[in-house]
Every structure is written in structure tokens, then in C-alpha cells.
Chains A and B, each alone.
Chain A
Amino acid sequence: MLVTAVLSGLVLGGTYALLAMGLTLQYGIARIMNLAYGELIIVAAFLSYALFTYAGISPVWALLIALPGGFVLGYAIYGLLMAPLVRRARNAASLEIDSILTTFGLLFVIQGLLLVTFGANFTSYSYLNDAVQIFGTRLAANRLLALVLAVVLGAAIYLVLTRTLWGTALRAVAVAPGSAPLVGIDVERAARMAFALGGALAAAGGVVISMYQTFTATSGVVFTMKALIIVIMGGVGNILGALSAGLLLGLAETMVATYVDPGLTLATTYGLFLAVLLWRPTGLFGRAVR
């Protein structure tokens, strides 16, 4: 029973982590608090649904379309909507307010387009809903895919950020956007890259969760909320932080649901969130703010 609970918890946490990693890049490095993040997830989910239902294209192929698609969309959103805000922002606080307001508007634009195109109905299809036996526990293949994808993408991005010059430049922008230009870093370009990368991750998350979770044109905000909790818990801008916070949440929720009461899962999420913030105000992997 314990093994089952741990494994199911990790698999649930994989979904959470996958959904949060893109936001941590966008918020941590590009410094854009993207409230329309969940809508990007839903766009990818609908893309995957439409390809699967109307064209018979497997969501695995949709993933190959969604990753570059999300990147391009993120790149375009940053270039068209965010760059002007970044240029005119006097300080970090004013950029935060402006970007929140702008992406809040973007949220409704995307939601409106989805409502017109797909309507307000519950959308769901089933793909890879097969059992995989691991240590005697039956796990859903599609959820396992989310966990594997979260770990692989998370590790890859972590390595890029820490082992390459380009990644180091991104981290420099995250830590000290004011000083980065002094060493020849093009801050705007780095931020745009991080934002686009975040878009690609959101799209990947959307495709994978569409295989097993019911969604509607207006359910993006639920994903944004969950992702935001994980991002803040893990430390803003820290990809390993998002990964571990996501896994931790999934594990905690499943443990409580199994051994205490399924009614307390929400309370567990927020209780853990509060506890982490009291113990480490900048998140599990966050740096102390000077």
C-alpha cells in the first residue's frame, strides 16, 4: 500500500511539475507574471484534442507540433506584447504590474477565441489509458508519460542553464537584469528566449494532460493557480525547484488522500505551501533576497 501511494503520488506530482516548469522560466527569468499561462496549456490541449479526434493524429505527434508551436507563440507574445512593457518599465515593480494587467487581458482574449471555436463544453478523450506495472503497482501510462517528460525536460533545461554559456547568460538576467548588459548580455533577447521556452513547456504540458484530464475553454485559470503555487514554493525561476515542489505536492496529496482523508487534499496543498513559505520565504530552492 505504501509503495502504491508513493508511486501514485510521484506520478501525480509529475503532472504538477510539468505544468509549473514553464511558468517558473517566464516569471523567474523573463520577469513576466504570465496570468495567461494556463490558457496556453488549454490551447495545446485543444490542439491535441482536435488533431486526435478529427484527424486521427496521435497526441505523441501533437507533442512534436506543440513544443515548437508553443515556443513560437511565446516568442511572438513576448515580442509583440511584453517587449514594449519591458522597455518602458522604470523598475521591476512597475513591470510586474504592467505584465499582470496585460496578460490578464490576454487571458480573456485567448479564452474568448477558444469559446468561439470549441464552445464551452467539457472536452475529453482517452489516449494511452493503459496500465503499466511498476513494483506491483498499476500506473496509468499517460500519467507516467507526464512524469517522465517532466523529469527529462526539467533535467535538460537544468543542464542547459548550468552547463552552457547561453544558460549562464539566462541565469545572469534572472539574478541581475540591471548588471547583465555590463558583461555584454542582450537582456531582451535572453528574456524573450526564456519566455518562449516557457511557452514550449506549457504547450507540452497541455498536450500530455489532455490525454487524461477533462478540460473546458475556461479551465486555464485552474492550471495557472496550481502552477503559481508550485513556482513560488520551489523558488521563482528555479527549474529544479519547480520539479521538486511539484513532486512534493503530488506525494503529499496522495499520502493524505490514502491515509487520512481525500477531503483534505486541498488543505494539504495550501498547508504545505504556507509551511514552506514560513520556513523559506523565497521557496525551497530560492536564493535569499538582498
Chain B
Amino acid sequence: MISMKRRVLLRTGAVAAVTVATGFGRAAWAEERKSIRIGYAISKTGPNAGGAGITTLPNYLLWAKDVQDAGGLELPDGSRLPLEIVEYDDRSSAEEVVRAIERLANEDKVDFILAPWGTGFNLAAAPLFDRYGYPQLAVSAVTDKAPDFVKRWKKSFWMLGGGHDYAKALAAIMADAGKAGTLNGKVAMVSVADGFGIDLVSAARPAFEEAGIEVVYDKTYPVGTSDFTPMINEAKASGADSFVAFSYPPDTFAITQQAQVADFNPKLLYLGVGTGFPVYAKNNSENATGILSLGGIDPANAANADYRKRHEAVTGIAPDYWGSVITYASLQMLQEAIRRKGLDREAVAAEIASGSFETVLGETKLEDNQLRKLWWTGQWQNGQFVGIAPGDRAGASQLVLPRQSWKKA
């Protein structure tokens, strides 16, 4: 009993001591600030590490290096403060993301928090960003609900569009090619039974119907499926000359390999996440040509080309052709907003929402807290994954259909 009381007493004492110390510390800190603290939680281990390690983390590191090399983040008075980065591994667990962000806000007291990787994690984190008053630049999140989210969480920004955007663009391409007689108007479609696949396929079904495209094969498969032979054989026998897979990277790679083995040559081949990864071009070289997917770049954009070169030189890996460049652009926007407005998170968020920014994407401006100037469909052409839809956007490349048959190595 006595020992227990003592422990309680000790604990109260310790809490009091900490409060005094931080209270004092903070007062002193405000007077002479030596750095700007930026924190983030990212999946460095676990199933999401593969995606986070290609689209998000290398860009955070590249940006941090760029800022440090420039002497730090510039503030409105022209002074520069170095970055202090606080990084947590969320181990691919949504609970860990939540815990890490609470920690970043409450204990590390960082000035800004960078967004985690993935649609689900950004949704899990959004209420916390909102509660603690941090702007959230969610890049690697594809969601049709963005217009609702920005009403609920005023300082959230959604920068990769929604499933409907991508599905409608694809349906339009197929409908046009059908009218031109290039395609027969039938599509075989598979999708992964998880966030991305479900979102995309439920947007694609009505979009195809509206465009008058007949879906002759429509199946979902569980995450982790490694053998696609049955689906490819069924699709081959279905009479469709278009094949669409809303797949995750390991599935995308496997489908590409197995379609070659099966000598399955649809005139239009559209694959999901992973098609825009640098390793995809490396493994498939010429055979990648003509394959469609989400995202793309404008090959004539010099700023983007320069970014791709620096990304590879600094991080050792090439960026992907979808979310990478947008991740970097989002950081440039944050940096510029801080230069204009300082460290007041409210003002910075307002500036990001309304301001216009010069980024690696070119002139970038958000509409209703969303980035809408995106490439909805891209295609591998001459060793680059170029944007083809929307076709009326400046820098769009011309779609090439039908794609060539697989070449034997």
C-alpha cells in the first residue's frame, strides 16, 4: 500500500516537472527559433512499404535535401531556417499512422505534417490533421469523395483525382476507338478485391455502360493472387479485344508476364498500379510499348524531366510516372506557401487553397482544394509513360492503338 502511494506521488512529481520544463522550454523556443520541424509517418515496413518507398518517401527525402542545400526554408522576412525532420514508420498499420500523427502533433510539436501513403491511411489521418489544425496534402489517395472531404476537413487537399475520373477517361478512349473501328466494343476486366480495385471497378462499370461498351468478363481476385493464368485464358476466350486490370503492382507485373506466356494480345491493354514504375519498363523494355495505365507525364515539360533526373541521382531510384512528381509538386507548394505566409498553419492552408504555384508540373493551382489538372490515362511510348487523356490538355501525346503483339526476347 505504502509503495503504491509513493509511486503515485512520484508520478505526479514527474508530470509536474515535465510541465514546467516544457512550459519554460517553449517560451524560450519561440524567441529564437533555430529550425522548422516537419514530421511524417510513412510505411517503411509491411505490405505498403513497396508503394510508399517508390511514390512518397523518396520525394520527402529529395525535397528535404533540396531545402537544406538551399540553406533552409525561406520565411516571409527573407530569413531561412533549416529543416528538422521527424520520421516515424507506421509499419503499414492504420492504428500506427493515427498514433504517430498524434505524437507528431502533441509531443514533437512539429510545424507541419506531411501526408502518409495510400488512400486508406490518408482517410484515417484526415480527422487528426483537421483536429490539430494541420494542412494535409494527400497525394497518394484516389477518391471520388474528395469534394465532400474538403467540406468536412477544410485544410485537406486531394491531389490524385478519383476513380470516376480515371474510369471515364478510359471509357471515352475505348468508345472513340470503337467508333473508329479499331476496337470491337467488348472488354474483359479483372480487379483486385481491395481499396483501389473496388473503387476503380465500381466506377468503370457504369462508365463503360454509359459509353456503350459491353463488359463480357468481369471478375475480382483476392490480394496476393500470384497466378492469373485462369483469368487470362478466360479473357482470351471471351471475344473481347480489350483487357483491363485494376491491379496492384505485384499483380500488374504477373499479368504482364503471364499474358506473354499465354500469347494473349488484346488490342488495348490497360493495367493498374505498377505500370508506371521504373522497374516495369526495365523488365519489359520494348514489350511495355502501347500499354495503358493511370497517370503519365508531358514528355516536353523540361522542369519535370529535370526533376526525374535529380530524383534518380539523389535517391538512387527513378520516380514513378503517376504520383511521384505530384508528391514533389505538393511539397513545393507547401514550401512556397510558407515563404509567402510564414509558419501560421491557417494562413498557409488558405494560401495553398487559393494561390498559384510554379512547380515541377508547371503552373499549379488547386480547384476546391483538389488538383484537377491531371493525366487520367497514360501510355508507354518510346520508353516513356506519356499522358494521353485528357487529349485536349497541353502536352498530351497521341494515343496509339492497337498495341503491338508481344515480341519474343
Task: Check B88 for interface membership: any CB of A closer than 8 A.
Answer: no
For the complex formed, measure the closest distance between the CB of A110 and the CB atoms of chain B, giving whole angstroms. Answer: 13
Whole-angstrom CA separation of A222 from B43 in the bound complex: 18
**0/1 interface trace, chain B 31-57, chain A, CB 8 Å (1 if under):** 000000000000111110110111000
Whole-angstrom CA separation of A140 from B229 in the bound complex: 10
Task: Take A8-B229, A129-B257, A258-B233 as given contacts and tell me if A222 and B224 are in contact as well, using a CB distance cutoff of 8 Å.
Answer: yes
CB of A212 within 8 A of CB of B254, answer yes
Task: Take A254-B229, A263-B221 as given contacts and tell me if A121 and B45 are in contact as well, using a CB distance cutoff of 8 Å.
Answer: no
Task: Check A218 for interface membership: any CB of B closer than 8 A.
Answer: yes
Contacts of A115 in B (CB 8 A): 44-45, 49
CB of A122 within 8 A of CB of B219, answer no
Counting chain B residues whose Cβ lies within 8 A of the other chain, the interface size class is 35 or more
Contacts of B279 in A (CB 8 A): 121-124
CB of B230 within 8 A of CB of A8, answer yes
Contacts of A139 in B (CB 8 A): 261
Contacts of A265 in B (CB 8 A): 221-222, 225
Whole-angstrom CA separation of A257 from B237 in the bound complex: 15
CB of A263 within 8 A of CB of B250, answer no
Whole-angstrom CA separation of A212 from B261 in the bound complex: 11
For the complex formed, measure the closest distance between the CB of A138 and the CB atoms of chain B, giving whole angstroms. Answer: 6
Task: Check A214 for interface membership: any CB of B closer than 8 A.
Answer: yes
Whole-angstrom CA separation of A4 from B229 in the bound complex: 9
Task: Check B301 for interface membership: any CB of A closer than 8 A.
Answer: no
Task: Take A120-B53, A265-B222 as given contacts and tell me if A126 and B261 are in contact as well, using a CB distance cutoff of 8 Å.
Answer: no
Task: Check A130 for interface membership: any CB of B closer than 8 A.
Answer: yes
CB of A253 within 8 A of CB of B227, answer yes
Counting chain A residues whose Cβ lies within 8 A of the other chain, the interface size class is 35 or more
Within 8 A of A (CB), among B250-293: 250, 253-254, 257-258, 260-263, 274, 277, 279, 283-284
Task: Check A158 for interface membership: any CB of B closer than 8 A.
Answer: no
Task: Check B317 for interface membership: any CB of A closer than 8 A.
Answer: yes
Whole-angstrom CA separation of A66 from B258 in the bound complex: 26
CB of B219 within 8 A of CB of A263, answer yes
Task: Check B395 for interface membership: any CB of A closer than 8 A.
Answer: no
Whole-angstrom CA separation of A135 from B198 in the bound complex: 37
CB of B220 within 8 A of CB of A263, answer yes
Contacts of B160 in A (CB 8 A): none
For the complex formed, measure the closest distance between the CB of B131 and the CB atoms of chain A, giving whole angstroms. Answer: 30
- 28 A-B contacts, Cβ less than 8 Å apart? A1-B237, A4-B233, A120-B49, A120-B52, A121-B50, A122-B50, A122-B274, A122-B277, A125-B283, A129-B257, A129-B260, A129-B409, A131-B261, A131-B262, A138-B262, A140-B257, A140-B258, A218-B46, A222-B224, A253-B227, A257-B230, A257-B231, A258-B230, A262-B190, A262-B219, A262-B225, A263-B193, A265-B221
Q: Which 6 A-B pairs have the closest CB atoms?
A: A120-B49, A214-B250, A257-B230, A120-B53, A140-B261, A258-B230
List the interface of chain A (C-beta within 8 A of B).
1, 4-5, 8, 12, 15, 111, 115, 119-126, 129-131, 138-140, 212-214, 216-219, 222, 250, 253-254, 257-258, 261-263, 265-266
